[in-house]
Each structure stands twice: as structure tokens, then as C-alpha cells.
Structure 1
């Protein structure tokens, strides 16, 4: 392991990007995936400019270790890959998956509203049944 790789957790912690401590907010719950990944990338770029670059694999591992449980399926698929994922592809997959989760959530909420309306009593159908 290189010296910069060994220092990565300390550097990420000192820059506020280490979300493994118990007092740090969950990054995925406090910002969008896009914002979180952009902040991680910005820190990785700053480290590279400072002469302490971290590998794309290290960035990916950091992201996978610090995501919320709603992303566990995507994290498992990324971990199971034979070839490492580049940050750009990770970014694309993660933001697409976040949009998928948002669509699923709005679809589920729409189904609940429809179910509640269809079960509401006292509508025109009840009046029709009483007249028969």
C-alpha cells in the first residue's frame, strides 16, 4: 500500500469527507448522490494537486463504504464486478440509480393515493347501490 493510500482515511477525515465517524451525518441522506460524488471527486482532485493522489479504486471503496442502505443492491453489483469501475462510470450508475429510486418512490406513493380514493365510502357508487 502506498503512503498516499495509507494517508487517505486521515486526509478524507480532515477534509470532512470521512463519513464513517458516528457524529458525521450520512452523506446520502443529507445531499443528493450527485452532490456527494462531486464533493468526493473534488477532494480526490485536491489531493492529487497537493501531491497525494488517491486511486480511482480507493475513491470507489470510500463511496461504497459510506452509502445508505437504499443503495445496497447497486453497491453489491459494483463490488461483484471483475473489472474495477472508473469514477465516471460509478457517477453515472449512481445518479441513474438515485433517479430510479425517486421514480419508484413516486410510483408507490401514487398507488397508495389511488388505493385510498378507490376505497373511500360515500361516493356516487354507494348512492347508486342504495337505490337498487
Structure 2
């Protein structure tokens, strides 16, 4: 579906007037949906506005949404005013790239400038309500166990970036604290280790948390496979009466003993081997 409407440029009859209407070239084949394929809503207004401004700049139509000109529909000679057509084209782009609920509240807007300023007033991230909403979303972040850690980190970073754009910056330390609060109990040791560090950059924290996720998955898989083997052994052979050298296997979350054991090496999230008998 093309949102641009073909409009021909018009000029006044040179034989009847010494003044001519400037020829205004309008895009007649541009399909805005190919550039903005995600409809604008209350949550992605910033990215939508940035994309839309780029489109206006490409076509030299930034003034349509920045100047409250309200051009008349007709010229003195009765022909269509190209400035009016230009305004309506931009207005149609705005409406076409919004979700239906926002299109509805834009119905009273008859000029592109009206629609643009209305959206800026209602959806601007500078509004106190919007800032409070973003901060509340950060404070209540929870890691979804069904989704990868990278999704959790990217979502938190996007909220922080939106706050920074809105002029209500959040420090990296505060962002890391919000992320730690949203982790599950399996990350308790990791959280403690991070709190013991004097400071940590977000990029370093990102890498460490991704590594920690991989370690937890590996250890969980290891523990599960040994539990299955241990159960099968008891089912078919009965419990062992003795184990050589007095070593015992312990199928806890993260440790075992049989000549070698695994332990945390903090900080850094890496595992180290220690030769100890239990």
C-alpha cells in the first residue's frame, strides 16, 4: 500500500500574470511503509520521530512540521495550492505510520504541524509521566527464565537510553543495580561478587553476565546427567557399600568431589579447579 499521493506541480498562467507560483516537487513514488514498517505507538515514539525527521529532510520538507503556516487549499486562480498538497502529504504520512488508536486522536488535526505538535505534547519523553514510567520499568525488571540473557540486557539498556534522551540520565552503576535486582536466585553468588567490586563498567558487566549464564547452563546440564546416572545405578545395582579412597560424589548444584572439585573464582565469573578431598 502506497501512502504517497501523486500530485502534479502547478503554476499560474504566465500570460495573465507576471508572477509565477514556484514549482514544488513532491515525491510521487515514495512508499513510507518501506522505511517505517513498525507503526508508532506510545513506546517507540522516539525512534519513530527520528526516522520521520530523516524522511522529511531527504525530501526537503522539514518546514512542514516546524512552521505553523496553514496554507490555503486553492490559489487565487482556483488551482490547487502546492504548499497545501505538500502539507497534506506529510499529514497522511504521519497518520499512516501510527497505530489505529493514535490515528483516531489525530482526526481533528487538519494540518501536519498540528498533528506533529500534538504528538510531541502527548508522547514526548520529556513529560514527567513518561519519565516516571520508564524508571518504574527499570526498577521492576525481572529476568524471564525462558528468554536469553541478551534479551534482558538489551531491554534494560533501551530503557536507560530512553531516559538519557529524555534528559533524566541514569548512571551505569544504577543500571547495573537494577539488572542485578531482576536476576533469579541462581545468580545470587554472581550478585554478591559484583557488589564486592569497587566499580564495574556496563560493557564489562554485560560480558560477565553472559559468561555466568553459560556457566550456569553447563553446570545444570552436568548435574542433571550425573543425577540420571546415579539414579540408574541404584535402580539396577543397588546402593554402593563402599567407594575406594573414601571419596563421595555430591550431586549438588555446582560442586562434586572425586579427587577434584569446582569452586568459584571471584570476581570474573570463571571456574577454577581445586585438588581437595571431601
TM-score past 0.5 threshold: yes
Task: Say if 2:196 is the partner of 1:80.
Answer: yes
- How many residue pairs get aligned? The number is 108
Cα distance change, pair 44–70 in 1 and its aligned pair in 2 (3 A):
same
C-alpha change, 1:76 and 1:28, in structure 2 (3 Å) is: farther
Contact kept in structure 2, 1:9 and 1:18, CA below 8 Å: no
Paired residue for 2:162?
46
* Corresponding residue to 1:11 among 101, 112, 134: 134
CA distance in 1, matches of 2:196, 2:231: 41
Higher relative contact order (CA 8 A, sep 6+): 1
Shift in CA distance, 9/102, structure 1 to aligned 2, threshold 3 Å: farther
Aligned-residue offset at 1:110: 0.6
Query: Structure 2 CA distance, aligned partners of 1:54 and 1:113?
Result: 47
CA distance in 2, matches of 1:36, 1:18: 13
State the Cα RMSD in Å: 2.3
Q: For structure 1, which runs of at least 5 residues remain unmatched after alignment? A: 1-6, 21-25, 123-132
How far 1:121 moved relative to its partner?
A: 2.8
What is the CA distance between 1:71 and its match in structure 2?
0.6
1:48-67 matched pairs, under 5 angstroms: 48-67=164-183
CA apart distance, 1:44:
1.0
- The secondary structure found in structure 1 opposite 2:191 is helix
1:27–1:47 CA distance, 2 compared to 1 (3 A): same
- Structure 2 CA distance for partners of 1:86 and 1:80, relative to 1, 3 Å: same
**d(CA) in 1 for partners of 2:177, 2:152:** 14
**In 2, Cα distance between the equivalents of 1:8 and 1:33?**
25
1:72-91 CA distance string (max 9 Å, x none): 11111111112x11111111
The offset of 1:30, in angstroms, is: 4.8
Greater mean deviation of Cα atoms: 113-122 or 60-69: 113-122
Deviations 1:33-79 (A, max 9, x none): 22111110111112222222211111011112222111111111111
Which residue of structure 2 lines up, in the alignment, with residue 115 of structure 1?
230
Q: Distance in 1 between matches of 2:134 and 2:150?
A: 22
| CA 8–106 in structure 1, closer or farther in 2 if over 3 Å, else same | farther
**Greater per-residue helix proportion:** 1
SS at 1:27 equivalent:
coil
Structure 2 gap segments, 5+ residues each: 1-129, 238-278
Greater Rg by CA: 2
